Structure 1
Amino acid sequence: MTTSLSPAQTATLAALFDRIFPAGADGSPSASEIGAVGYVSDALSGPYAEHLPLYTELIAALDLAAGGDFAAAPTDRQDSILALFEANDTSLDALPRPSDYSAFDLIWRHLREGLFCDPRHGGNRGFKGWELIGFPGAQPGYRAEEQQVSHKVARAPQSMDSLGQDARLESAPATIAASEPLPEADVVIIGGGFVGGFMAHRLTAQGKRVVILEAGDSRTGREHAMDELSATAFRNLGGAKKFNSEVPTWRLRPGAPARRASMSQGLETELGGNSVAWGAVAMRFYEDDFEIRSKTVAKYGETSIPADSTLADWPMSYRDLEPYYDMAEDLLGVSGHAGGPRENGRTRGNPFEAPRKHPYPMPALRRSGLGQTFATAAESLGYHPFNLPAAILTAPHKGRHACTYCSFCSRFGCHVDAKASAQNTVLPEALDSGLLTILTGARVTEIVTEDGRAVGARYLTSDGQSHVQRGRQVVLATYAFENTRLLLLSRDEAHPQGLGNNHDQVGRNYMTRQQPSVYAVFDDRKLNRFIGPTAQATAIADLSCDHFDHTGLGFIRGGRVAAFNQYLPIEASGVLPPDVPRYGAAWKEFFVASYNATMMLFIDPEILPSTNNRLDLDPEQTDALGRPVVRITFDIGDNEKAMIPWLQDRAEEIARKMGAARIWRRPALTGPISTHDTGGTRMGHDPETSVTDGFGRVHDTPGLTVIGGSSFVSLPPVNPALTILALSLRAADAIVGDQVAADGKQEEIA
């Protein structure tokens, strides 16, 4: 069997890559000179071996279209074939046509990796790709002055291999490789991510014996630090154990065919879950987010709610959750400025912030030069900019280091533990209690019931053996997709359609964040946006929620607008205005000139729950175990179609005020899977319209609690993580209370 490309095939690939990214008249290197061809050739014998047949077909198709030898064809003929290839034109009869993406999408992605990855992977030879765009690579941190607009960052590029590692940072949480089950626990938690870790911390602090079943392996929480290639959503090494083999499918509406969402956001499925990869923005919901329907109807009338929306109030108030927000912020070490007026009449924090009894545990991250430019423009337009609160330390705390403002944060483990993860916050303390045991390599396939009550979880070990871990209470604490899937796959006589699903509510009310950013390029300044964590952002909330009058606008609610940092070259090389093609001198020249001059105003629009949108089991696509994957049915509604362009108009106005020379916007619908995927096991008082109560107790399945983003009733324009953690702490207290009450009744009977 062929395991790599032949010399002739490699020559065709080199010719293709050098037309997509050609040598410059100024002497700048081509793709092959940078090492992209060698990188892809090697990868096709290793991590991308599954794509070798596609490359073989593609190269044959290109050679055929060129009359036998693409590499020998005149460059104008190569370019005309390339244009057809990029367009996926049907006139190229032999062109491979994968069902989930175009062949050009795949090879363009691989090419960009070879141009701009860390040289340790075989591409970006001699740092030529990074030198071309002025990216310094893996630096341990940056000084404040280096983040100022147009400051020349005079650092030679370096690989992460050149960075030393502190031995103290090498230890991973102590876990046990799953085999035989342990004795019955007070609580069995399915999933070792942030939710499972926070619940275990709270439960063990109150004397409960907890077993966490984690499908992945243990890890330090600093994996793939400063390595864009291994951390990207496309390669997603953090999801290799599980998620990458069970990627959901997606369709716009019921009845339409679904395709694998393979080019979407990847999710982590190792210990710590997405707490290792998250961007660490840690905002509370606003006060009226918990009364979203009733407040909207009271102000604008019943007809203001879109006809297809299932918008509802939460089964709790902000005041109910406030003490748990306090706990979560303290455990994470959140940095930020509390809202409220300053002496000069301006606000330092978010003036729309819900009331809080305590300041943030840490001072806010410093404001970048880009953030200050955004803030000045926003203030001149009457808005109230503030630094986003972040679960990133600004001072040493509990053995963790303060942020060094390196280039790698969102999707990366933190090289100094400044960014909070389950590993460096709650798991060590919970393990030290002696009451927590974490079984790794325990892939849960079913929640086990007896007489309709949840009593444990069935899991598979790495050798394929099936076991049941029993517990007095079972907690499902995975991501929204797996929470939904496990409920639907766990059936008994009392729950023939799945646990929690006696009223056909599991999977309904799915919501995912859209990312209709506005991009802008500046002619007169360098932004140095590659410095600093994503969460070191400056934002406005004036256009969020009901912070402005919606009368006559044709939509309700709104979105947050923010200027974010972290602009890394593999992903950035795919950010292009509509008039710049994805190949040739035009692409190369644009990206080389604009990499350090491109700004993104990120818009977080509020997505309303809809009757159209839901999660269910795909009837055709299965995972590596032969079980159905999740099928996503999702489209934005009329409310979002009216609201998002309105928000983009205002973001563009800010960008013009900042002095941008060129502005463009992403489409309103950006697709499924955003890491802000919510709904599917909605909380509520009524079992006919919800899956759980406000504490995560499943209405129709005693002994089972479900907590996570799947619990959400609505998706405000705020990062969901802090609210998810607050809900998990509240649910843990409810479990303790329930067990104390049950023990008391048993004593009375005895």
Structure 2
Amino acid sequence: MAVSSLSAAERRSLDALFDRLFPAGPVSPGAVAIGASAYVAAALAGPYAHHLDEYRAVLAALDAAAGGSLADADADRQKDIIARWEAGTLPGLPANADRSSFDLVWRHVREGLFCDPVHGGNRDFAGWAAIGFPGAQFGYRSEEQALGHRVQRPPASLADLPRSARLAGTSCLGTGAPREADVVIVGGGAVGSFMAESLVRQGLEVVMLEAGPARTGREHAMDEVLATAFRNAGGAAKFNAEVPTWRRNPGETARRAVMSQGLETALGGNSVAWGAVAMRFYEEDFRLRSATVERYGEDRIPEGSTLADWPLAYADLAPFYDEAERLLGVSGHAGNRANPARSRGNPFEAPRAAPYAMPALRTSGLGELFAGAAREEGYHPFPLPAAILTAPYQGRHACTYCSFCSRFGCHVDAKASAQNTVLPAALATGRLHIVTGARAMAIVTDEGGRAVGVNYRTPAGEELFQGAGTVVVATYAFENTRLLMLSKTRRRNRGLGNETGQLGRHYMTRQQPSVYAVFEGRSLNRFIGPTAQAMAIADLSADHFDHGDLDFIRGGRIAAFNQYLPIEASGVLPPDVPRWGEGWRDFFLTAYNSTSMLFIDPEILPYEGNYLDLDPVVVDDLGRPVIRITFDIGDNERRLMAFLQDRAERIARRMGASRTWRRPFLTGPISTHDVGGTRMGHDPQSSVVDAFGQVHDTPGLYVIGGSNFVSLPAVNPALTILAIALRAAGRIAGAAAPAATCGVPA
């Protein structure tokens, strides 16, 4: 373990601080005995070394307020000093425009209390033992998810897992000089990988440029510290150095969105970390504006909204939804639209040509409790379809219902990723060449304005050019937009795709104004099972209910999710519970296994005032502007969210909750459901790409991903993104330009 860079006096003050933040109690030792301060001290000499100066400044401010050392102050004096620190009124605190120093340290304390012992905290499993969390178990039986069941297993660490469950990729899949290619794809995530598989299957030569390293898809299995959005080890190669900034309105100064969701920069992208909910959009979602106007009138479109119909219909995507589900291996029950009362699946589901590949994930005791209460409220609960196997499929193992799924690589490959679905077959053709460590710098066009390749940078700093007959940008919404903005030419001095000023417009991001519920004295065992092992209702989604007498349009999904891990859960507190001291300790130790969340996915509409552009001040590690997000929710969404929270709270009470509380409406930017920026449409005056993702003003250039979205329905976007990608691959293969050599264009 690394040696701490803190002095002996600083370490003494750190110990005093941590034991005041999480003091010893009747059923638990304090933070120091659990190993939290040892964990942080070691981390400050390792992965958190960049926070060392901030810690020293904080400890100096605390000691100064104590008149010497915080450790020598009495308990009441220590509490007063910490309260002023939390409030930001203590003299001498380090300035940070992005977050408070208390927020940082509180996060680190929680990691030290509840991380896997391999990281140096949670000594002898004491943190986990205090809350009844068994740790890194291979999986759980159905009866262990029953309500009230007491899970009795010896705690397990990552070190106890078989080596096959924690494999990590270390070598590149492709290196060397550029080569001839029919298509070059920027981005080796799910979108790029699924497109590559389709293209090589149709006979094209494809080069895929991935900015991050290669990996197996099992990385960070069962490791909450490394997989967490806060540390985001998966984004170390690129994203962590280019975190977007955020402001609510154009007149504000943007700040870095450092406490938001982290995005992966490595082969497979977010397909390794995703929660794997695999739902199709509803038929009406593709004609949202016209359907709303037809039913309620033009005046129901919110002021300032750029709501529009998609340039394609559900029927256009249906065969590609089928293909995506087959490639992923999606489990679920088809909806019975004709008889909702007898439907095992979503009764509002769009028509499908065939059932799911396998039955849905089993229903947990919590799911059954939610479903029963929802039915009593008149709703139609169903298990969410998921790209997680419930039976062996194409060489992959069925789900074991472990505690670690969303944000984790799967230790048995039950959860679909690019690595365990499309990449092996694509590579086996010999027509896919993956270049890892290839950071795209600009799309290159010829004198006629046609895209002919990509300039990229290697980890050694070498600048190379990869030519191709067709260029596909298939990264996340932020980078899709940013790369086009940075690819300026004499013909396109505002960036590619921006001839009509639409690049970056119509940005939307999911908000998660969930309702939390405590079932006092009742074991929910919500820590067992994947996030996607959830029961949900769609009765309040889209326009599935009459909005005639309501003051908003559209709706949202309500679901009871599993996966409740200690580090994140220790920050889930009612408004009346403090974030430190005896109150925090007693609430969390008592409520951890009795707390549920009714997760709300509201539909977010596009507005003129919500957009992406380049930050004029903040740059990445290469000195290039990061994306600046300008985003706030509208009055329509605020009224919708209040309505959904009311209904969710009624369900929770009917489930037997002893107390509930609500998250705020605005939960921030970067949700992993970020869409817009390169909107698709028929008219170049209001969109960036056409219905297949081809950029209106740049022949030979396609942009594919969530950035193409016209709207953000109350459905996870991943399956629709993949369907759009597969549809575009068919168009590209049918009209591919001749393979380009790797020489730099004249």
- TM bracket, shorter-chain basis: over 0.9
Letter in 1 for 2:628: R
Q: Please name the residue that 1:633 is paired with.
A: 630
Q: Please name the residue that 1:99 is paired with.
A: 97
The residue correspondences of 1:206-245 to structure 2 (distance < 5 A) are 206-245=202-241
> Shift in Å at residue 736 of structure 1?
1.2
Q: CA RMSD in A?
A: 1.4
Q: Please name the residue that 1:21 is paired with.
A: 22
The residue correspondences of 1:226-265 to structure 2 (distance < 5 A) are 226-265=222-261
Q: Please name the residue that 2:478 is paired with.
A: 481
The residue correspondences of 1:186-225 to structure 2 (distance < 5 A) are 186-225=182-221
Q: Please name the residue that 1:52 is paired with.
A: 52
Verify: 1:36 aligned to 2:39, yes or no. no
Match of 2:336 among 322, 336, 340: 340
Letter in 2 for 1:54: E
Q: 1:688-736 CA deviation, whole Å, 9 max, x = no partner? A: 0000000000000000000000000000000000000000000000101
Say if 1:341 and 1:348, in contact at 8 Å, map to a contact too.
no
Q: 1:508-532 CA deviation, whole Å, 9 max, x = no partner? A: 0000000101000011311000000
- Using a 3 Å threshold, how does the CA distance of structure 1 residues 620 and 169 change in structure 2: closer, same or farther? closer
> Shift in Å at residue 207 of structure 1?
0.1
What CA distance in whole angstroms lies between the structure 1 residues aligned with 2:285 and 2:369? 30
Q: 1:398-440 CA deviation, whole Å, 9 max, x = no partner? A: 1100000000000000000000000000000000011000000
Q: Please name the residue that 1:522 is paired with.
A: 519
- Using a 3 Å threshold, how does the CA distance of structure 1 residues 703 and 147 change in structure 2: closer, same or farther? same
SS in 2 for 1:361: coil
SS in 1 for 2:182: strand
> Shift in Å at residue 21 of structure 1?
0.3
The residue correspondences of 1:284-683 to structure 2 (distance < 5 A) are 284-340=280-336, 345-451=341-447, 452-683=449-680
What CA distance in whole angstroms lies between the structure 1 residues aligned with 2:4 and 2:440? 35
Q: Please name the residue that 1:74 is paired with.
A: 74
> Shift in Å at residue 738 of structure 1?
1.6
Q: 1:139-184 CA deviation, whole Å, 9 max, x = no partner? A: 000000001111110001110110112399667897113x42122x
What CA distance in whole angstroms lies between the structure 2 residues aligned with 1:58 and 1:172? 38
> Shift in Å at residue 3 of structure 1?
6.7
Q: Name stretches of at least 5 consecutive residues in structure 1 with no aligned partner.
A: 744-750
- Using a 3 Å threshold, how does the CA distance of structure 1 residues 153 and 167 change in structure 2: closer, same or farther? closer
Letter in 2 for 1:9: E
Say if 1:251 and 1:632, in contact at 8 Å, map to a contact too.
yes
Say if 1:173 and 1:423, in contact at 8 Å, map to a contact too.
no
What is the total number of aligned residue pairs between the two structures? 736
Q: Please name the residue that 2:162 is paired with.
A: 164
Say if 1:333 and 1:361, in contact at 8 Å, map to a contact too.
yes
Say if 1:648 and 1:665, in contact at 8 Å, map to a contact too.
yes
> Shift in Å at residue 342 of structure 1?
9.0
Say if 1:173 and 1:220, in contact at 8 Å, map to a contact too.
no
Say if 1:683 and 1:713, in contact at 8 Å, map to a contact too.
yes
What CA distance in whole angstroms lies between the structure 2 residues aligned with 1:265 and 1:159? 26
> Shift in Å at residue 388 of structure 1?
0.1
> Shift in Å at residue 347 of structure 1?
1.6
Q: Please name the residue that 1:720 is paired with.
A: 717
Q: 1:571-619 CA deviation, whole Å, 9 max, x = no partner? A: 0000000000101100000000000000000000000000110000000
SS in 2 for 1:574: coil
Say if 1:173 and 1:428, in contact at 8 Å, map to a contact too.
no
Q: Please name the residue that 1:146 is paired with.
A: 144
SS in 2 for 1:444: strand
Letter in 2 for 1:15: A
What CA distance in whole angstroms lies between the structure 2 residues aligned with 1:314 and 1:625? 37
- Using a 3 Å threshold, how does the CA distance of structure 1 residues 168 and 104 change in structure 2: closer, same or farther? closer
Say if 1:336 and 1:390, in contact at 8 Å, map to a contact too.
yes
> Shift in Å at residue 68 of structure 1?
1.3
Say if 1:3 and 1:49, in contact at 8 Å, map to a contact too.
no
What CA distance in whole angstroms lies between the structure 2 residues aligned with 1:101 and 1:168? 33
Which stretches of structure 1, 4 residues or more, deviate above 2 A after TM superposition? 165-174, 341-346
What CA distance in whole angstroms lies between the structure 1 residues aligned with 2:697 and 2:165? 49
What CA distance in whole angstroms lies between the structure 2 residues aligned with 1:524 and 1:167? 35
* Identity rate, percent: 68
Letter in 1 for 2:398: A
TM-score normalized by structure 1?
Answer: 0.97
Letter in 2 for 1:721: A
- Using a 3 Å threshold, how does the CA distance of structure 1 residues 343 and 557 change in structure 2: closer, same or farther? closer
Q: Please name the residue that 1:10 is paired with.
A: 11
Letter in 1 for 2:183: V
Q: 1:213-257 CA deviation, whole Å, 9 max, x = no partner? A: 000111000000000000000011000000000000000011210
Q: 1:288-326 CA deviation, whole Å, 9 max, x = no partner? A: 000000000000000000011000000000000000000
Q: Please name the residue that 1:748 is paired with.
A: none
- Using a 3 Å threshold, how does the CA distance of structure 1 residues 484 and 167 change in structure 2: closer, same or farther? closer
TM-score normalized by structure 2?
Answer: 0.97
> Shift in Å at residue 343 of structure 1?
8.4
Say if 1:339 and 1:353, in contact at 8 Å, map to a contact too.
yes
What CA distance in whole angstroms lies between the structure 1 residues aligned with 2:533 and 2:403? 11
Q: Please name the residue that 1:747 is paired with.
A: none
What CA distance in whole angstroms lies between the structure 2 residues aligned with 1:171 and 1:17? 36
Q: Name stretches of at least 5 consecutive residues in structure 2 with no aligned partner.
A: 740-746
SS in 2 for 1:430: helix
